[in-house]
Amino acid sequence: MTNDKRALNFIASAFFDYTASRFLLINNHPLNGIILASTAIEKYLKALSIIATGKYEKGHFDKFEKLLKVFVGTPLESMFNSADPQFFDALSGGYQLRYFDNTYEIWKVSFVTKQVLAELDYFINEIEKWIVVSDGVDNLTTYKMAVRNNDTRIYDNNYVLNNWDKKTFVETESNSFALFSDPANSVIELVGSKLCFPYSGRMTTFIIQIEGQDPIATTEFERRLIEAKLEGEKS
């Protein structure tokens, strides 16, 4: 249980980023949606860090390993182990691509919108299981009050809260999105609509092949998770 004002402010702000992200993803604004999804989870993780340690790591989702390090070796680490690493890659890539003119290295992000929505709803729900506030209504966060009130902002297309089968949900028609940006500020954006993708437990990603260049590797999250664990063992 927490009454730390910093944590409470992060939690409140995270919820509004989360609901805005859901609205944007559902209404076919994928890049804006993934950016707000990354800030929502970043703020939630900073709140959990304050609750667990009294402080938080400064940083954003383009430096995800810094946010992750504080949870290594704690019960909270199980949240990351149960989540799809491709989801965190999409969040990290999306956050980095807020401003194309600040891109000093090759960055790409690709995802199927409904798969991102499913992972976002799952992970936010898992985070909220660890949070109890001491000055809210009935000690509930804004998210838990929204759940209790059947708030459409979080129930719309939410397989977790509606108790839908995940595989069935993510394999229905969805939009897809891919964006590539290089240091020369050339940007390639690909958007697909009303497509169905088979789901085998990992998010679908798209390899963007630029003539004369090697295909861009997919998941970086697992490498970062290993590095964070090693760093935690040293400290």
> 96-117, pLDDT tens digit by residue?
777 655 555 556 778 889 999 9
pLDDT, average across residues 177-197: 71
The CA-atom distances, in angstroms, between 225 and each of 78, 107, 138, 185, 209 are 12, 19, 36, 30, 27
Range of the structural domain that residue 141 is part of: 5-234
Question: What's the total number of domains in the chain?
Answer: 1
What's the confidence (pLDDT) of residue 147? 96
pLDDT, average across residues 68-76: 78
Which string of b and e fits 142-165 if b means at least 16 CB within 10 Å? Answer: bbbebbeeeeeebbebbbbbeeee
> 116-168, pLDDT tens digit by residue?
999 999 999 999 998 877 655 557 889 999 999 999 999 999 999 999 999 99
Tell me the two tokens of residue 75: 């019960």
Distance CA 224, CA 16 (A): 28
Say yes or no to pLDDT of 208 above 70: no
pLDDT winner (highest mean) among 4-18, 56-70, 121-135: 4-18
The CA-atom distances, in angstroms, between 172 and each of 14, 45, 113 are 28, 31, 11
Q: What is the DSSP string of 21-79?
A: HHHHHHTT-HHHHHHHHHHHHHHHHHHHHHHHHS------GGGHHHHHHTTTTSTTHHH
pLDDT tier at 18 (50, 70, 90 boundaries)?
A: very high
Average pLDDT score over the chain: 79
Distance CA 69, CA 26 (A): 32
Do the Cβ atoms of 221 and 80 come closer than 8 Å? no
The model's pTM is 0.81
End-to-end CA gap in the chain: 27
Distance CA 195, CA 172 (A): 8
Of 146 and 228, more confident: 146
State whether residue 188 is helix, strand or coil: strand
